[in-house]
Amino acid sequence: MLAKDIIVDSIPPIKPSESGEKALNWMDEFKVIHLPVVKGQEYLGLVSDNVIYDQNDASAPLEEMNIAYNRPFVYSDSHIYEVMKIIAEFNLTLVPIIDRRENYVGCTTLAEVTKFFTNSSSITEPGAIIILDINKVDYSLAQIAQIIEGNDTKILSSYITSSPESNKMEVTLKVNREHIGGVLQTLNRYDYVVKAYFTQNKITDALKSRYDLLMNFLNT
C-alpha cells in the first residue's frame, strides 16, 4: 500500500493568502490540528492551530503572519510505513503527499492510516491472538510459522515491538483459528515463551472495542 492509495480527498489545502481564522475553521471541521499550506502546486509546509493561536491577529492572511513552516511530507509512491514514521516523528494528525516533481497531490490523516492498519491486521477476522516474548537473536518468523502451520493453523498477520535498550522483542501473531491449545503446546515444547493469548471473544470485546473508542475520539 502506497501513500497515494490513502489520500483523503475531503481535506483541501489552505492558501497562504487565506486567513488564519479560515484555517482554524477548517481544522475544526475536518477534525485535525494541521493543514497543508499550498501556493499553486507548491507545498510550502504545515500550519498548526497552536501557531495560529500564537499570532496577534488570526484574521490576517497566513502570508502576513510570522510563520516558519515545518515541511514534513511523504512522496506519493512512498510505502504506508513511511507515512506512519512521519506521523510519529512530527506528532501529526495529517501528512501532506507530494509527487517526485515536488508538486502537492493531497494528504492523508492519522485516522485514515489507523483504519488501514486495523483492516490489514485482520482484527475483525475469526481467530486468536498469540503474543510471544523472544530474544532478538532467536527470532525467526519462518520457524514460528512452521510450528503454527504444523498445527493446521495459518498466520494472518504479525507485529513486532522492541526497544533498542532491550535484547527482547514481543511478537504479536493473529492466527485463523480460535482453538489454539495445540499451537500453544507446540510453542512451549520449542521453548517459546507465550506471554499472552486471546480468543475471538476477547478480541471482539477488548481489541475491537478499543479500536472503536479510538475512532470515536478521532472523530470528535
User: C-alpha grid cell for residue 52?
Assistant: 495560529
Of 92-106, 127-141, 151-165, 182-196, minimum mean pLDDT range: 151-165
Tell me which residue has cell 481467530.
Answer: 127
Of 80-94, 116-130, 152-166, minimum mean pLDDT range: 116-130
Mean pLDDT along residues 88-100: 94
CB-based contact 8:63 (threshold 8 Å): no
The bridge status of strand 193-198 relative to strand 128-135 is: antiparallel
Nearest Cα neighbor of 78 from 185, 3, 8 is 3
pTM surpassing 0.95? no
| pLDDT of 216 over the 80 cut | no
Class of the 123-217 domain? alpha beta
Topology (CATH level 3) of domain 3-117: CBS-domain (3.10.580)
Burial 30-65 (b: 16+ CB within 10 A, else e): bbbbbbbbbeeeebbbbbbbebbeeeeebeeebeeb
CB-based contact 24:52 (threshold 8 Å): yes
User: C-alpha grid cell for residue 1?
Assistant: 500500500
Q: Domain segments of the chain: what residues?
A: 3-117, 123-217
| pLDDT of 14 over the 60 cut | yes
| pLDDT of 145 over the 90 cut | yes
